[in-house]
């Protein structure tokens, strides 16, 4: 478990020696100073000015797998798996919400954040099966 090795003060907060410290990943990934309106779905924020490649500057500030020596060792494999899975899904299916349905994306908070269950998504094949 990660803990402080000596009494310290960080941004005016006193943290005693041997105190367990957690990084608030949700706060890092939802900082309005960095992301503008972090709860607004804007995937273009990760693109370069030419909208052709992913901006490393912003994408590297996203903290998905922890940080430091305790970060997830499967990060690279997981990112490739997620990319391939989503690419195939988005290539083959068209996702939508029925007209007039408002989707609530408010998560459940705790030590970890659990996304709200979305019950109203429809998936339809993009191309007919022959």
Contact 23, 16 (CB under 8 A): no
Per-residue pLDDT reduced to its tens digit, 37-68: 888 888 888 887 777 788 888 778 888 888 77
Consecutive H or E run containing 8:
strand 8-10
Both tokens of 89, joined, read 């899904």
Per-residue pLDDT reduced to its tens digit, 102-125: 888 787 777 777 777 778 889 999
Question: Is 20 marked as a binding-site residue?
Answer: no
Nearest C-alpha neighbor of 1 from the set 23, 20, 16, 24:
20
Per-residue pLDDT reduced to its tens digit, 67-103: 777 788 998 999 999 999 999 999 999 999 889 988 8
Neighbouring residues of 105: CB distance < 8 A, sequence distance ≥ 6: 39, 115, 116, 118
Whole-prediction pTM:
0.55
């Amino acid at each position: 478990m990660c803990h402080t090795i000596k009494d310290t003060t960080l941004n005016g907060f006193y943290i005693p020696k041997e105190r367990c410290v957690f990084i608030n990943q949700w706060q890092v990934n939802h900082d309005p100073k960095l992301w503008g309106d972090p709860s607004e779905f804007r995937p273009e924020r990760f693109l370069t000015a030419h909208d052709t490649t992913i901006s490393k500057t912003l994408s590297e500030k996203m903290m998905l797998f922890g940080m430091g020596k305790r970060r997830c060792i499967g990060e690279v494999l997981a990112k490739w798996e997620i990319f391939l899975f989503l690419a195939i899904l988005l290539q083959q299916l068209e996702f939508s919400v029925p007209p007039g349905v408002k989707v609530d994306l408010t998560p459940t908070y705790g030590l970890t954040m659990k996304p709200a269950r979305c019950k109203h998504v429809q998936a339809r094949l993009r191309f007919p099966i022959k």
